[in-house]
Structure 1
Amino acid sequence: MDKKPFVTKEQLEIITKKYPTPFYLYDEKGIRENAERLKKAFAWNSGYREYFAVKATPNPYLLQILKEEGCGADCSSATELMMADAVGFSGHDIMFSSNETPPEEFALAERLGAVINLDDITHIECLEKTLGYIPETISCRYNPGGVFKISNEIMDNPGDAKYGMTTDQIVEAFRILKAKGARHFGIHAFLASNTVTNEYYPMLARILFELAVRLHQETGAHVAFINLSGGVGIPYRPDQEPNDIMAIGEGVRKVYEEVLVPAGMGDVSLCTEMGRFMTGPYGCLVTRAIHEKHTYKEYIGVDSCAVNLMRPAMYGAYHHITVAGKETAVCDHRYDIVGSLCENNDKFAIDRMLPEIEMGDLLVIHDTGAHGFSMGYNYNGKLKSAELLLKSDGTVQKIRRAETPQDYFATLDECPMMEKYRKHSEV
């Protein structure tokens, strides 16, 4: 697979005349086309709905695009609920999946009419105490435990995860919730992250569908929907084959007809809550080479850092890098691409073979449209970058301005020493 940016050097040169690097750039056309593919893959299920995982890319402009494409919003915090509400999501357009949830966040979710997805059986008591009742529609998160293995390459360990209920707990939870007035139930599980295989969703579906049949038979509960969550990944490396979402949808359909339909449960709606798959490939971090260093290794210093993109520093995640305008040049130089944090893991790439990089070159860091900007932070007093949208008509819209020193100092509102910097950014 040949990774090519969705933006050209010529476009970037125009954009950078108005918006200084670093910045995130998102591809509206790509996001919309991908949402349409997903809907088509699950069109066989009349109640299907994608609930975009807001945590992946929490920007109201992007949420609006996905809302227009028929998606709901999956939220995990009060501020994500507020953003979804502001964009116009309401009622069962919102799924609230949280853990160790503050009671006031349950209350906000209920005020907005969201479907609440309980992470633990003990949260039933917390929810009832907070609201004074149990909602008629409720969902529970399941954790089968053990080790979940898809292939030789992909393995995850649900038994070591803090999320979800055991089998016995979810059966008991359904009984309790039903006795307390719940009428429509959902089941949710997330067993593996960023899987690049068409096998994951059908395997997860079988586990959840069989659980749904058992829950219906043992508790009499009406299972209205099953949430397959996220976990469908993207090919970060150029040698990886992307998932075939049509094949994934067809695989889930076969399991649905094998398990649910014979049990008389052919009316169960399916949900997904993808983040990475929905927007990951349709965002990039654009940064500029500003320094070069020749010591024990060859370093290229750029004007962004792990504050802007945490994944490589946090756990060595691979992100492909293109030197704009040198897409066809020979990759005959070995570099570490590094930022300016006082941390030695502040590296976007280590020993990466790239074309010769000259000062001022623009570097496009691929596949940052999910879990990129959203994981940013302010270590070393570094400031988060702007977010831009490359619209379907080719124009560019600023959808989040870059942070300023005033933003950084704004919470020191009771510190008179910082007064001048809360109002002015100049040194």
Structure 2
Amino acid sequence: MKKPFVTLEQLQTITQQYPTPFHLYDEKGIRDTARALYKAFSWNPGYREFFAVKATPNPQILKILKEEGCGTDCSSLTELMMSDRCGFAGDEIMFSSNDTPAEEFALAAKLGATINLDDISHIDFLKDTIGYIPKKISCRYNPGGTFTLGESEEGFQVMDNPGQAKYGMTRPQMTQAFRRLKELGAEEFGIHAFLASNTLSNEYYPALAAILFQMAVELKNETGCHITFINLSGGVGVPYLPDQPANDIAVIGEGVRRAYEDILVPAGMGDVSLCTELGRFMLAPNGHLITRVLHEKQTYKDYIGVDACAANLMRPAMYGAYHHITVMGKEDQPCDHQYDVTGALCENNDKFAVDRMLPKIHIGDLLVIHDTGAHGHAMGYQYNGRLRSAEVLLQTDGSTRLIRRAETPEDYFATAIWD
């Protein structure tokens, strides 16, 4: 059963200072996750985690991760700007974008970021934009087809459809791209691929690694390029459902190590550095959306209305995604009432839970919506004039700090032209 990282007593104190709804992040959990990840890959001397800024674009979160040795993975101009303002520079930034405007390539180059090219046509576009090809460059690979990983020891099957994804280059294009980049002056080459999302299998990363390691050996032989790093991207998931098993990052790291020693080392490529971009794995379990019950409605179903809505967390409305809910103070009570938990948007999909069995809920109860630390606040919006909520950091000493204020109506009106 999922347990919140705060108690009811803590939340009662916190909500006296910060009105609900708000996103709450656990600094200790963030640091512990980063340290476990680095320990799992400590066998690779050049390893680095490039945190996917899109998951949780908050400067204070990024600064915590920087202290833990992480870089940033950026996919837009503003993400690059945020990384720069937070003190990331040079090879601490990976720029992985698609359909990229020229100004974004220009800023990435100015900051010294490692540019990860999504398409073969971007080679000449990049050269025309900045006037040269960087000495260090990466290309994103898409194997096409369907990626399948059979039943794992956890009984979970991974299946995704790279052939329908807009990202990356074909295998022949990877060879062509490396040769062209080498002609234009590139000296250090990297490979990137993302084959499946939110996997709950210790076998996914080692399987992906084996694919990329084998291709790296082939590309080296075909092109003579010096491949110095391989980016395993994201995809290591978190258990949103309470009965799902969590990934074991130590087992995953060991599986990747075996593939590395079986494939790269015999090919004379034992100097290749690895990197990852694990936004969800790093942050999702270390964030809660805190909301208070405003109303109970009984018609054809029983509805619990809360002061948060899909503008604060859109994954359930957008994907039908499951997020666990804890009714604070009632953790040990039987879940013998069936509810839809809803927000106030004028859309019927504005529901955090549908037909969810929970303890008896009363108006004024505090609810914790779990696993919102990644792709939670980041995906917020202002539909219906609902405003994005505050972000609060629960620090390692138990105190709290506001790390993003809630929007106000004046923020909403600020970009409008009134005359």
- The aligned counterpart of 1:222 is 226
Letter in structure 2 aligned against 1:415: W
CA distance in 1, matches of 2:256, 2:125: 34
Residue 371 of structure 1, CA deviation:
0.4
- The aligned counterpart of 1:12 is 11
CA distance in 2, matches of 1:50, 1:315: 27
Match of 1:44, SS state, is coil
Q: 1:328-339, aligned counterparts within 5 Å?
A: 328-339=332-343
CA distance in 2, matches of 1:69, 1:87: 14
Q: Which runs of 5+ in 1 are unaligned?
A: 417-427
Letter in structure 1 aligned against 2:81: M
1:89 pairs with 2:96: no
- The aligned counterpart of 2:158 is 154
CA distance in 2, matches of 1:242, 1:9: 25
- The aligned counterpart of 1:80 is 79
Q: 1:92-111, aligned counterparts within 5 Å?
A: 92-111=91-110
- The aligned counterpart of 1:239 is 243
Q: Kindly indicate whether the alpha-carbon contact (under 8 Å) linking 2:287 and 2:371 is maintained by their aligned counterparts in 1.
A: yes
Letter in structure 2 aligned against 1:343: E
Match of 1:260, SS state, is helix
- Scaled by the length of structure 1, the TM-score of the pair is 0.96
Deviation digits for residues 26-76 of structure 1 (CA, Å, limit 9, x no counterpart): 000000011000000000000000000000000000000000000000000
- The aligned counterpart of 2:397 is 393
Q: Kindly indicate whether the alpha-carbon contact (under 8 Å) linking 2:158 and 2:204 is maintained by their aligned counterparts in 1.
A: no
1:378 pairs with 2:347: no
Match of 2:275, SS state, is strand
CA distance in 2, matches of 1:51, 1:183: 22
CA distance in 2, matches of 1:100, 1:151: 33
Residue 273 of structure 1, CA deviation:
0.5
- The aligned counterpart of 1:415 is 418
CA distance in 1, matches of 2:319, 2:373: 18
CA distance in 2, matches of 1:390, 1:232: 25
CA distance in 1, matches of 2:102, 2:86: 24
Q: Kindly indicate whether the alpha-carbon contact (under 8 Å) linking 2:390 and 2:405 is maintained by their aligned counterparts in 1.
A: yes
Q: 1:361-372, aligned counterparts within 5 Å?
A: 361-372=365-376
1:254 pairs with 2:258: yes
1:188 pairs with 2:187: no
Match of 1:374, SS state, is helix
Deviation digits for residues 346-382 of structure 1 (CA, Å, limit 9, x no counterpart): 0000000000000000000000000000001111011
CA distance in 2, matches of 1:149, 1:27: 34
- Scaled by the length of structure 2, the TM-score of the pair is 0.98
Deviation digits for residues 304-359 of structure 1 (CA, Å, limit 9, x no counterpart): 10000000000100000000111111100000000011110000000000000000
Residue 150 of structure 1, CA deviation:
1.5
Letter in structure 1 aligned against 2:33: N
Q: 1:330-349, aligned counterparts within 5 Å?
A: 330-349=334-353
CA distance in 2, matches of 1:175, 1:154: 33
CA distance in 1, matches of 2:391, 2:227: 40
Match of 1:225, SS state, is strand
CA distance in 2, matches of 1:373, 1:80: 15
- The aligned counterpart of 1:173 is 177
Match of 2:172, SS state, is helix
Count matched residues.
414
CA distance in 1, matches of 2:247, 2:53: 22
CA distance in 2, matches of 1:52, 1:151: 28
- The aligned counterpart of 2:201 is 197
Match of 2:294, SS state, is strand
Letter in structure 2 aligned against 1:214: E
CA distance in 1, matches of 2:405, 2:165: 36
CA distance in 1, matches of 2:34, 2:134: 30
Instruction: Choose 148-157 or 218-227, whichever is displaced more.
Output: 148-157
Q: 1:232-311, aligned counterparts within 5 Å?
A: 232-311=236-315
CA distance in 2, matches of 1:125, 1:374: 33
CA distance in 2, matches of 1:285, 1:122: 42
Q: Kindly indicate whether the alpha-carbon contact (under 8 Å) linking 2:313 and 2:376 is maintained by their aligned counterparts in 1.
A: yes
Letter in structure 1 aligned against 2:85: A
> Where does structure 1 differ by over 6 angstroms across 4 or more consecutive aligned residues?
none
Q: Kindly indicate whether the alpha-carbon contact (under 8 Å) linking 2:294 and 2:306 is maintained by their aligned counterparts in 1.
A: yes
CA distance in 2, matches of 1:93, 1:401: 28
Match of 1:348, SS state, is strand
Match of 1:187, SS state, is strand
Root-mean-square deviation over aligned CA pairs? 0.6
Please point out which of 328, 351, 358 is paired with 2:355.
Answer: 351
CA distance in 2, matches of 1:393, 1:82: 30
CA distance in 1, matches of 2:175, 2:375: 33
CA distance in 1, matches of 2:340, 2:350: 10
Q: Kindly indicate whether the alpha-carbon contact (under 8 Å) linking 2:393 and 2:402 is maintained by their aligned counterparts in 1.
A: yes
Residue 154 of structure 1, CA deviation:
2.1
Residue 415 of structure 1, CA deviation:
1.4
CA distance in 2, matches of 1:371, 1:140: 25
CA distance in 2, matches of 1:394, 1:270: 35
- The aligned counterpart of 1:34 is 33
- The aligned counterpart of 1:419 is none
Letter in structure 1 aligned against 2:280: R
Q: Which runs of 5+ in 2 are unaligned?
A: 152-156
Match of 2:181, SS state, is helix
CA distance in 2, matches of 1:114, 1:133: 14
Match of 2:261, SS state, is helix
